[in-house]
A and B are shown apart, each in its own frame.
Chain A
């Protein structure tokens, strides 16, 4: 009887894992180059890490995998990690508080219930968190790091979209909604439902009009932020600090030659965001996002320190990656018994040379192999190059390798001249 895969999960097949590892490796290399150090947090955390005020919305918490552990008689529930930033903040508060600036990165899986069947309930993320340090410069560093990683994966034309959680929160506070309504509205904006602002009905029609205007405008320059300042802060000084922060970031991004679009409908994020929110898009997909979360570390028991971070969505990025340039494969047909040692030695030398050496265990098809090294006769080694069908008999592994090396450099030269 076939036992099916658990509902809502996904198998990563060899071709998927190849892409996965390319992302994983590329991301970690980028991060290490910027001074980030890799961490891994446990898959299991206490539920209350995530219920602490303002860290995840009730809607997200309602989709968390939570259960009682084998020693959970105290009623304390544990969860499968639904988010990477909050555990990273806990890890910092528990272990690294002496650092004035902590640069952390991770590649981890997150779990959340998903009922539509369109997405997996287990999602992989590449995350980076910058705890401490100067504010807007830190945000710009994270944005640059994310863009560098995405370009390293070979993704072209990635768009950067910006919004600001502090500005959204200040706007909503001004609307005079009931506490729950306000929280619900913010949840919906953060979960990507920008249409919700059409439904706003508070006691401040003027501000509602401004909010709709804010969501209707998009700009890609510092001048646009200055326009927003003029439009809004005169009547609502509470927005000033957020807008001036946004202006500073826009200015810095322009200075380093990074283009962006300010678009408040892109404000997908988490409740713990307090400042800039950024999202990365390509081919109509959201490939990652992040933001500033200056209040989170104290909420998980750490010191009062500013922080910011992002995550790239591995599953989304995998779909966009092209075929890799694979190492060349050699099929080794070994002689049995006493000749086996020579065949193993041949294969070892091939691997050392950078080839993938696979023993023939009865595979019918030889497609995918550039070479066949046949040692079955016991009299010398037969080298076959599959594309041309050319056969050569050599007396030693060294001679075989010399031919292969020559042929590889010839084809590389041809490729280059093309």
Chain B
């Protein structure tokens, strides 16, 4: 057992929804951590609790992984993310130490209400292939196998799982605070898969070989009141009270992005003379109304659009070329293609290393041999994989991330594949660009097969022409 102050102890802290209460918990435990407060954006909040104590802030989904592989001794994240890792990768490397009493939520299997199949039994007897959307694809697969669903397809999504019901999925595996709450939103929870909130997790090896008692005792004594966490689910599913669009097979389905591309998209459509209500300012619904005949709109994550267009759930979507490329590198024969370059949201996709990393160009990077492997972290898993493969960066290992990727350097990754608008964030984090992979901007993507369909062709080309008008309007500005 390693003792004394010379030993480094690493704690991974959650970014986002749990940040406020986790910071309160740490304060209660007697070690307030500098810039780690609700809404603060530092990835390396300092703490002088004892020498060798190191904290870093990650997306929650990354924390279980970072603790499992031993990069961090302890971590705080919600139980669902721990289970998402363990259900697929049977490992005893993560020890669930204790529930922290806040951030409580359950993971439900949810079906669409109304006319669709709304019980597990009804879903099981379906002859059709069931579409299951989830941010938790591993849990979704394990659920489908355990419930012996005869035939299913799992669509991993970055968010807004509830928005896919009922037209674009039969089941969503998603979190919620209570089943009543989901019912109020018009959904039918058909099974509760697990319950749980914020958890303290530890790496087994660290527990066995390092003295973590100072942190463990402080945290086990601390208590915070569960003030609840702003539910993302509600936002995604809002709009359910609205009428579902008529089941017209010829309706053109258009997906619009949420997140930071939303404002630009609104402006773009305004420029093209199209109003979209429920998408601009104010209340966001998952089904805004567009004043174009025969077009239905849904709001989903831009990352998920290429796959959703490929499988025919949507005919057209506004996303980034970066996500289109990532999709095409994964599925080279996908029917998704770029229809229009919309011109806004321009970024460069770059390879980035730490400022003091011993390589400043891709050629130097290629010559570098790292044991046991060069760690390449990215949200664009397939872009990163292809880039490393094409450049013979051998041996390498891809680390998928779910945001806050800059934080991985230098301790937890060697290279990042990231997007950057001005390069400011990169230099702020003491990083440097070694290569530019390609330029990306917002684009309209479409399903080549749908665009050839006789019943949809004319509506689709009308929409494309209208949007082309938007590009001209932007150019004229």
Query: B155: which of A3, A53, A75, A115 is its contact (CB, 8 Å)?
Result: A75
Give complex CA distance A74, B307 in Å: 8
Contact B153 A75 (CB under 8 A): yes
Q: Is the CB of B331 within 8 A of A115?
A: no
Q: Which residues of chain A have C-beta atoms less than 8 A from B150's C-beta?
A: 48, 51-53
Q: Give the complex CA separation of A70 and B331 in angstroms.
A: 5
* Chain B interface residues toward A at CB < 8 A: 90, 129, 131, 141-142, 144-146, 148-155, 307, 310-311, 327, 330-334, 336, 371, 395
Task: Tell me which residues from 55 to 81 in chain A have a Cβ below 8 Å from any Cβ of chain B.
Answer: 58, 61-62, 66, 68, 70-77
Chain B residues with CB under 8 Å of A71's CB are: 331-334
Q: 16 interchain pairs (CB within 8 A)?
A: A48-B129, A51-B144, A51-B148, A51-B151, A52-B150, A52-B151, A58-B145, A58-B146, A58-B148, A68-B330, A71-B333, A72-B331, A73-B331, A74-B311, A75-B311, A77-B154
| A51 and B311 contacting across the interface, CB-CB below 8 Å | no
With a CB–CB cut-off of 8 A, which chain B residues contact A1?
371, 395
The answer to whether A73 and B307 touch across the interface, beta carbons within 8 angstroms, is yes
0/1 string, A26-65, CB within 8 A of B gives 1: 0000000000000000000000100111100010011000
Q: How distant is the Cα of A1 from the Cα of B331 in the complex, in angstroms?
A: 32
Chain A residue numbers with a CB within 8 Å of B154 are 75, 77
- Known contacts A73-B327, A74-B310; can you find 16 more A-B pairs with CB under 8 A? A1-B371, A3-B395, A48-B129, A48-B151, A51-B151, A51-B152, A52-B151, A53-B148, A58-B145, A58-B146, A62-B142, A62-B145, A66-B141, A72-B331, A73-B336, A76-B153
> What 5 A-B pairs come out closest when comparing CB atoms?
A75-B153, A73-B310, A48-B151, A61-B145, A73-B331
Chain A, range 78-132, C-beta contacts under 8 Å to B: 113, 115
Q: Which residues of A are at the interface with B, using a C-beta cutoff of 8 A? A: 1, 3, 48, 51-54, 58, 61-62, 66, 68, 70-77, 113, 115, 183
Closest-CB distance, A84 to chain B (whole angstroms): 20
CB contacts (< 8 Å) of A58 on chain B: these are 145-146, 148
A53 to B124, CA, bound (A): 10
The chain A residue sitting closest to B92, CB to CB, is A115
Give, as a whole number of angstroms, the nearest-CB distance from B153 to chain A.
Answer: 3
CA distance A39 to B311 in the complex (A): 34
Q: Which residue of B lies closest to A3 (CB)?
A: B395
- Rounded to whole Å, the gap between the CB of A71 and the closest CB of chain B is 5
* Residues from chain B with Cβ under 8 Å of A183 in the complex: 148
The answer for the CA separation of A75 and B152 in the assembled complex, in Å, is 8
From B131, B153, B332, contact of A70 by CB (8 A): B332
Structural contact, B333 and A75, CB atoms closer than 8 A: no
Instruction: Given A70-B331, A70-B332, A115-B90, decide whether A75 and B148 contact each other with a Cβ distance below 8 A.
Output: no
B186 → chain A closest CB, angstroms: 25
> For residue A66, which residues in chain B have a CB less than 8 angstroms away from its CB?
141
Cα–Cα distance between A58 and B131 once the two chains are bound (Å): 19
Q: Smallest CB–CB gap between A90 and chain B, Å?
A: 14
For B371, list chain A residues within 8 Å (CB).
Answer: 1
CA gap between A72 and B152 in the complex, in Å: 13
A75→B330 CA distance, assembly (Å): 12
The chain A residue sitting closest to B88, CB to CB, is A62
Instruction: Tell me the bound Cα distance from A3 to B331 in angstroms.
Output: 28
CB-CB < 8 A to A48: which residues of B?
A: 129, 150-152
B333 adjacent to A70 (CB under 8 Å) = yes
Residues on B with C-beta less than 8 A from A73 are 307, 310-311, 327, 331, 334, 336
Q: How far is the CB of A227 from chain B (nearest CB, A)?
A: 36
B335 closest partner in A (C-beta) = A73
A54 to B150, CA, bound (A): 9
Contacts of B332 in A (CB 8 A): 70-71
Please name all residues of chain A whose beta carbon is closer than 8 Å to the beta carbon of B331 when the two chains form the complex.
68, 70-73
Closest A residue to B143 using CB positions: A58
A183 to B124 CA separation, bound complex (whole angstroms): 15
A-chain residues with CB within 8 Å of residue B129 when the two chains form the complex: 48, 76
In angstroms, Cα B21 to Cα A208, docked, is 52
Closest CB in chain A relative to B311 CB, distance in Å = 5
In the complex, A404 Cα to B267 Cα: how many Å?
94
Determine the chain B residues whose CB is within 8 A of the CB of A76 once the complex forms.
129, 153
Minimum distance in angstroms from B331 CB to a CB of chain A: 5
Chain B residues lying within 8 Å of A52, measured Cβ to Cβ, are: 150-151
Closest to A64 in B: B145
CB distance from A112 to the nearest CB of B (A): 13
Given contacts A48-B129, A53-B148, A58-B148, contact A74 B153 (CB under 8 A): yes
Residues of B within 8 A of A75 (CB): 131, 153-155, 311
